[in-house]
Amino acid sequence: MRIIVAGGDGFCGWPTALYLSKQGHDVAIIDSMVRRKIDEELRSNSITPIASLAERTAKWKELTGKEIRIYMGDLQHFDFLKLVMEQEMPEAFVHFAEQRSAPYSMIDREHAVYTQVNNVVGTLNVLYAIKEIVPDCHLIKLGTMGEYGTPNIPIEEGYLEVEHKGRKDRLPFPKQPGSYYHLSKVHDSHNIMFACRMWGIRATDLNQGVVYGLSTDETDMDPVLANRLDYDGVFGTALNRFIIQSAIGHDLTVYGKGGQTRGFLHIQDTVRCIEIAAENPADPGEFRVFNQFTELFSVLDLAKMVLKVAQEEGLDTKISNLENPRIEKEEHFFEAVNTNLLDLGLQPQLLTDDVIRNILKTVLLHKDRVIKENVLPNVKWK
Ligand SMILES: NC(=O)c1ccc[n+]([C@@H]2O[C@H](COP(=O)([O-])OP(=O)(O)OC[C@H]3O[C@@H](n4cnc5c(N)ncnc54)[C@H](O)[C@@H]3O)[C@@H](O)[C@H]2O)c1
């Protein structure tokens, strides 16, 4: 298939582009490089050194003979996007290209506005570009499990059968997101659903859990292909953050009581889920929703797992509870369905001590790159 991976320089997008290319798909990347600019803004970095996108794709071609074309530009610029679509005529458009940090979106008004404009306008442009240029192209859009929030009922995959005053309907599952970033994804979901209904676009919304891990078979092929790994209080996700804290002898900082339960998955499963979605496209007009996670953990569960492995490796660390900078429930019911991807053949890579140990070993190699002032959270919700 001809596939565009938008956001293909990012944490999820880069390994996905490589994996799809390896599987024989014809891959092109769109990326504005804004994530690298945000590193400069926050005076932060990836703990792994990352090569430029041009160096990465050149190395991939040298090692495999496969070309991944690059288009540097912003999805907010429709003229640019239109040209790329006309050039590539994609059969699938994988859309990772958003501002994805909840704390970043909560820094202040400017960052909230930037996040929502970037994400909502970018996605609207993708919808119009598909409608005008490649109406049969399958949009595979990354949503997040955080769109649902933490309702006191089990979370379904996108829709809820409702009986109300003697009548029944299948309605979008209620959304109660916890940040302006998560809200941007809810707005995207509504816009995509509307476009499917109006124009017959085919779309899959992947409500992804928190992604942990770093490498895939492809990114491991050469240091130039290495994936980024975020650890700072703004972009670092829970498990990765704890592993890096353990490597530098920092306490594992659990926000509040640590009872916040979320869906998680390994980066290797992210890339496989995208392949599954691409190979099993939604029907024209269908807005399909998959909950893309493999296991549920509370934040405290994760900290305990990392602590155990870190201590086995002789590292001196402990768990400490920080005042929660976010406004969220710290003890709550959480149950979510995730059968759609499993039914289509996903075989999850589960979180074991060895998985944690492998990430830790890579982190230890680069621990001198950690900017210690960035490790603790500095963005508050209120
Ligand atoms: N990482 C996670 O744990 C996680 C969890 C759930 C959902 N997601 C979703 O997956 C997607 C990818 O996340 P990630 O962790 O790879 O993020 P990332 O920040 O590492 O990568 C996103 C990439 O998109 C690019 N980008 C952003 N806005 C753009 C624009 N307007 N035009 C062109 N390029 C743009 C950035 O430069 C970056 O390279 C996001 O949509 C995110 O919401 C991620």
pLDDT of residue 117: 98
pLDDT of residue 28: 99
pLDDT of residue 372: 92
* Nearest-atom index, ligand 1, CA of 228: 20
pLDDT band at residue 94, thresholds of 50, 70 and 90?
A: very high
Q: What is the pLDDT of residues 131-157, one digit of tens each?
A: 999 999 999 999 999 999 999 999 999
Smallest CA separation from ligand 1 atom 38, residue: 10
For a pocket test of ligand 1, which of 35, 231, 290 has the largest count of ligand atoms closer than 8 A to its C-beta?
Answer: 35
Residues with CB under 6 A from ligand 1: 7, 9-13, 30-35, 74-76, 96-100, 118, 122, 142, 144, 208, 210-211, 237
Q: State the average pLDDT over residues 66-71.
A: 98
Which residue, among 218, 315, 322, 231, has the nearest Cα to 271 in the 3D structure? Answer: 218
For a pocket test of ligand 1, which of 4, 5, 11 has the largest count of ligand atoms closer than 8 A to its C-beta?
Answer: 11
pLDDT of residue 81: 98
pLDDT of residue 365: 96
Q: What is the pLDDT of residues 238-274, one digit of tens each?
A: 899 999 999 999 999 999 999 999 999 999 999 999 9
CB under 8 A, 24+ apart: contacts of 58-62: 59/222, 59/224, 59/225, 60/18, 60/21, 60/225
Query: Alpha-carbon distance 355 to 141, whole Å?
Result: 27
pLDDT of residue 211: 96
What are the sequence ranges of the domains in the chain? 2-374
Q: Within 10 A of 217 (CB to CB), how many other CB atoms are there?
A: 12
Tokens, residue 55? 């160096």
pLDDT of residue 111: 98
pLDDT of residue 366: 97
* Nearest-atom index, ligand 1, CA of 38: 37
* Nearest-atom index, ligand 1, CA of 119: 31
Buried b (16+ CB within 10 A) or exposed e, 56-68: bbbbbeeeeeeeb
Q: What is the pLDDT of residues 4-28, one digit of tens each?
A: 999 999 999 999 999 999 999 999 9
Q: In angstroms, what is the span from residue 95 Cα to ligand 1's centroid? A: 8
SS3 state at 276: helix
pLDDT of residue 134: 98
| 114 included as an active-site residue | no
pLDDT of residue 118: 98
Q: State the average pLDDT over residues 63-74.
A: 98
Tokens, residue 171? 């309605």
- For the domain spanning 2-374, the CATH number is 3.40.50.720
| 144 included as an active-site residue | yes
Catalytic entry in 104, 115, 175, 185: 185
* Nearest-atom index, ligand 1, CA of 210: 3
pLDDT of residue 158: 96
Tokens, residue 215? 């490498």
Q: In angstroms, what is the span from residue 166 Cα to ligand 1's centroid? A: 43
Q: What is the pLDDT of residues 181-231, one digit of tens each?
A: 999 999 999 999 999 999 999 999 999 999 999 999 999 999 999 999 999
pLDDT of residue 250: 94
| 181 included as an active-site residue | yes
Tokens, residue 36? 């690298």
Q: In angstroms, what is the span from residue 6 Cα to ligand 1's centroid? A: 9
pLDDT of residue 333: 97
pLDDT of residue 291: 97
- Output helix, strand, coil percentages for the chain, rounded to the nearest 5: 40, 20, 40
For a pocket test of ligand 1, which of 98, 227, 265 has the largest count of ligand atoms closer than 8 A to its C-beta?
Answer: 98
